[in-house]
């Protein structure tokens, strides 16, 4: 069964460093998303991406964040200058249609020291 994959599973970085989180969405899906979940809190939307552009972003997704689909399979989230409060699980998701079911990857645990 096709699934969303994410790498790395765990990333440790120093405050102020740049990190890139990688995702491979399900191959026939057209809509891609990033969510995050701070420990003990609810899952929060960051950004959605369709047709090679951002279709929606949340207030969390400020100038330090960017997304890219560098080739036909990968979808990346870059955090330019990490802060302590960026420590969270970051989930990538994808869907076939805009209103359809979103399937989540296993997540990347980001720890900012």
The CA distance from 84 to 75, in Å, is 24
Helices and strands (H and E) in the chain: how many: 0, 11
What CA–CA distance (Å, rounded) separates 19 from 108? 11
Name the one range near other proteins by CB under 8 A: 21-29, 41-49, 65-73, 75-83. Answer: 41-49
Cα gap 68→24, rounded to integer Å: 12
- Choose one: 17-25, 62-70, 77-85, 98-106; the region binding other proteins (CB under 8 A): 98-106
Residue of 5, 11, 58, 74 that binds other proteins (CB under 8 A): 58
Residue 43, interface with other proteins (CB under 8 A)?
yes
106 binding other proteins? (CB under 8 A) = yes
């Amino acid at each position: 069964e096709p699934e969303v994959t994410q790498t790395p599973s765990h990333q440790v970085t120093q405050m102020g460093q740049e990190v890139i989180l990688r995702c491979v969405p399900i191959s026939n899906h057209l809509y891609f998303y990033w969510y995050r979940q701070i420990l003990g809190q609810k899952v929060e939307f960051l950004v959605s991406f369709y047709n090679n552009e951002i279709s929606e972003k949340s207030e969390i997704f400020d100038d330090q964040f960017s997304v890219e689909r560098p080739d036909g399979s990968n979808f990346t989230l870059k955090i330019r200058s990490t802060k302590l409060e960026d420590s969270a699980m970051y989930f990538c998701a994808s869907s076939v249609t805009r209103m359809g079911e979103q399937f989540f990857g296993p997540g990347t645990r980001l720890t900012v020291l």
